[in-house]
Amino acid sequence: MIIATLALIGLFVAMYLWLYKLGVVGTLSCKIGSCEKVNTSPWAVLFGQPVAFWGVCYYVMMFATAMLSTTERFAADRRFTLSLVTLAGGGLLFSGWLTYLELAVIHAVCMYCVISAIIVVVMFALSVMELRAAAPEPVAP
């Protein structure tokens, strides 16, 4: 349930940035860093869509998978735990790439991007811990 809560928080962050890219939010309220510079850079678009859109999609998938894994029907299904680790691992790699771009290419840091990256790191750690806890008991010879 913690992963689902974190995914929901991440969804709100990504939605805010996406609404900015769509022009719904006039300027970003960013007290730390250079959110405008990061979100108006050429690196803020991937496959013709704002990176924030992909963040929204990612967090919706994480939220849905985490919520389904808590239902009685799927609670014992290890595939959901593996799905969470896989999704969170992909998010971790993508967040790492975006953080590299911020630091090495754009030379600016977006506070919301950092928040999102922290959320992804925590979700990955929690999903790995959940996978380890759900590991099948070894069979004694």
Indicate whether this model's pTM tops 0.85: yes
Q: What is the pLDDT of residue 96?
A: 95
Domains of the chain: 2-133 (1.20.1440.130)
Express each pLDDT in 126-138 by its tens digit: 999 988 887 665 6
Q: What is the pLDDT of residue 141?
A: 67
Q: Judging by beta carbons within 10 Å of its beta carbon (0-12, 13-18, 19+), is residue 18 exposed, middle or buried?
A: buried
- Find the mean pLDDT for residues 64-68: 92
Express each pLDDT in 108-127 by its tens digit: 999 999 999 999 999 999 99
Q: What is the pLDDT of residue 94?
A: 95
- Report the phi/psi class of residue 137: left, alpha or beta, with left for phi > 0 and alpha for psi in -120 to 50: beta
